[in-house]
Amino acid sequence: MMHSNKKSNKYIMIIICITFSLSMFYLSTNAVVYTLNKKEVEDFSESILNRSILLMKQINFAISKSNNINESATCSKEYINKLREILWPQRFIKDIGYINKDMLLCTALWGDDVPPEKLSNNYKSVEHGKGLWLLGVNSRVLGGENIYVINNLAIMPSPFLFTRFTLESTNNEISAIVSDVKHQAHIFFIGNNTSDIYRMEHETHKPIGYIIAKKNANMNLIYAQHLACILTVFSTCLK
């Protein structure tokens, strides 16, 4: 009888040791996966931040060069050619237009053959530097949704600005939002889960199971998130 109890205790100890070892392996594996995912999110955020900064540098360059154009000859052949000279080297800008009293009169790509279109502050807008981001414009001429307006210029970012990040975002379930410095308005959205990022920032009841990375610069604020393989959702985030 005593021998049987010793044998039972031995089996119990073996089971406990195995369970403990498996638990430690599980925890350490999750810790490694979490660390790798965290770095992936931070790298993704940093890349998008750098791309956003490059865009703003090109916008600022276009603005400074346009100050040298004689506005008395606006939308003349000479003026449009000057706009084109400014536009062509800027790989992250699609088009630059001239506006007067909110009316778009000509652009570098279209010349002066543009259909009448009004770009007013009736759109949701956010101040940035000395200009405004007009959000959700859906311009028929300039295309895209967001346009930067300053003085008499309307600058349209390239629709391919974040294309190289789209596949990575889809494959790795990473999403990001680019906003103004004060985070008053979201300007660019990358990924399929940006609504969850918004909820994490603005709502009391926040989604769980995400890794968050925030990157700041003088021009942009980046929030990126990743469906985290932490203990409570490890089995659901492997797809």
Model confidence over 46-105: pLDDT tens digits?
Answer: 788 888 888 888 999 999 898 887 767 788 899 999 999 999 999 999 999 998 888 888
Domain ranges of the chain: 38-57+162-239, 69-157
pLDDT of residue 92: 93
Q: Which of 99, 151, 107 is nearest to 129 (CA)?
A: 151
Q: Which pLDDT band holds residue 187 (cuts at 50, 70, 90)?
A: confident
Tell me which of 138 and 91 has the higher pLDDT.
Answer: 91
Residues in Cβ contact with 53 at an 8 Å cutoff, skipping those fewer than 6 apart? 217, 219, 220
Q: Is 0.85 topped by the overall pTM?
A: no
The listed range with the strongest mean pLDDT (64-73, 89-98, 170-179, 187-196) is: 89-98
Q: Parallel, antiparallel, or unpaired: how do β-strands 103-107 and 147-150 relate?
A: unpaired
Over residues 204-226, the pLDDT tens digits come to: 555 555 656 565 555 444 444 44
Residue with tokens 């791309």: 51
Residues in Cβ contact with 153 at an 8 Å cutoff, skipping those fewer than 6 apart? 62, 63, 66, 96, 97, 98, 99
